[in-house]
Amino acid sequence: MLWIPGPTEVRPEILAECARGMIGHRSKAMVATIERIDPGLRLAFGLRADSTAHVAVHSTSATAMMESALVGAGRRVLSIVNGAFSQRWCQIAALLGQDAVALDVGWGAVVDPTELERVLTEEGPFDAVTLVSSETSTGTFTPLGSVGAVLARFPETLLLVDLVSCIAGAPVDFDANGIDFGLAGVQKALALPPGIAVVCASDRYLERARAKPGRGYTLDPVLFIEGHEARKTPATPAISLYFALAKQLEDITGGVTLPEHERQKTGREAWTARFEKHARMRAATIAWAKGHGLALLPEEQYGSPTVSCIRAGDVDVAALVTGLAERGLSISDGYGPLKGETFRIGHMGDHTEEGLAELLAATDEVLAAIAR
């Protein structure tokens, strides 16, 4: 069973959707499928009822959507870097020929709003700021509200946010947090097979993107967002994954994926309950780590609700990962420079608190065995 930071386990009901008979991507059935997706997607991004933001699905990776977001944003970009994937934002901007500036706050740290404001004031202007909400490499969750509040004082600077291991596991509140472009894959807390990305864009982001020449085709955010809204994708999409996404969003909204005692909840209440489940799994993992004299890599208050990155201390991480694999359970070693120094548990998606308890009990057994 996958307890890695993604991809995560996929329910049989969702896999069954992927096995449905194929339809034409210009058919009425495809139009109906896209229309099933939008209400749940707006809830996933936490849009207000009167929001004018635009949601869309694109058949590509979240990394490709990082590039797409930058294509429409402007020339000068400030990237808040606190791990591997936030560093990727900056690398992509540089490869696009943009003036990419890194605000490196250290792996596992969160940006100080005062420092962010100083950099924007003294080194600006910037066309956009990039941020990873839940940095999977370090298990660090940056509060979106604190960054959005700073950006509100710089109205010409767009906020682009990687929500890959955040969406469906924690509130996004796209409008309230002043996000202009949010993107995510579907293989983490949305608990789908990988292969498509979901996005949300503000009016002002699209206005700027439309005025920018040379956006290409496949990753042109204007083209695929407007195509989604017209129910006419620019190219043949991953239709089977559209089926799966429609089903999963409807099930989350209908309370189907909640613990049995909470399944009467629907709509926004069901989404809130899902976020609360992830918060409880985070708390349980932290409590377990403390019981072993271990701690998260980030400060505890900034631990991600979907993936915990735990300092290994004297634990032989390779032996721990191998021992769990022999029991049919998969967790992850540390990422990049943190390999061997940390291990990561992905408690996300449709995983249950009971399942997490079983994983942690098995981890106790492995730790006892490798300590001998």
DSSP secondary structure of 193-221: -SS-EEEEE-HHHHHHHHT-S---STT-H
Q: Does residue 1 sit within a domain? A: no
Residues 312 and 224 in one domain: no
Of 225, 251, 277, which residue is a domain's last? 251
Q: Does residue 296 sit within a domain? A: yes
User: Which pLDDT score is estimated for 358?
Assistant: 99
Q: Does residue 76 sit within a domain? A: yes
- Report the distance separating Cα 96 and Cα 56, nearest Å: 23
Amino acid at 352: T
Residues 275 and 242 in one domain: no
Q: For residue 367, count other CB atoms closer than 10 A to its CB.
A: 17
Domain with residue 340: its CATH number is 3.90.1150.10
Look up the domain containing 183 and give its range.
Answer: 12-251
Of 227, 251, 275, which residue is a domain's last? 251
Residues 302 and 213 in one domain: no
Q: Which residue has the tokens 């949305």?
A: 190
Bridge partner residues of 181 (DSSP): 160, 201
Q: Does residue 6 sit within a domain? A: no
Q: Which residue has the tokens 């990988």?
A: 194
Q: Does residue 260 sit within a domain? A: no
DSSP H helical ranges for 124-166: 144-151
User: Which pLDDT score is estimated for 121?
Assistant: 98
Q: Does residue 16 sit within a domain? A: yes
Domain with residue 189: its CATH number is 3.40.640.10
Q: Which residues of the chain have pLDDT under 50?
A: none
| 44 SS3 class | helix
- Report the distance separating Cα 352 and Cα 121, nearest Å: 45
Q: What is the DSSP string of 326-367?
A: TTT-B-EEPPGGGBTTEEEEE--TT--HHHHHHHHHHHHHHH
Of the candidates 137, 132, 134, the one whose C-alpha atom is nearest the C-alpha of residue 84 is 137
Q: For residue 312, count other CB atoms closer than 10 A to its CB.
A: 17
Residues 173 and 285 in one domain: no
Residues 231 and 274 in one domain: no
Q: Does residue 174 sit within a domain? A: yes
Total structural domains in the chain? 2
| 182 SS3 class | strand
Residues 242 and 316 in one domain: no
Q: Does residue 3 sit within a domain? A: no
Residues 215 and 307 in one domain: no
Residues 191 and 72 in one domain: yes
Residues 244 and 319 in one domain: no
CB 255 within 8 A of CB 32: no
Residues 215 and 279 in one domain: no
Residues 245 and 277 in one domain: no
Residues 100 and 211 in one domain: yes
User: Which pLDDT score is estimated for 371?
Assistant: 85
User: Which pLDDT score is estimated for 372?
Assistant: 65
pTM of the model: 0.97
User: Which pLDDT score is estimated for 189?
Assistant: 98
Looking only at Cα atoms, what is the longest distance across the chain? 65
Of 216, 251, 286, which residue is a domain's last? 251
Bridge partner residues of 339 (DSSP): 342
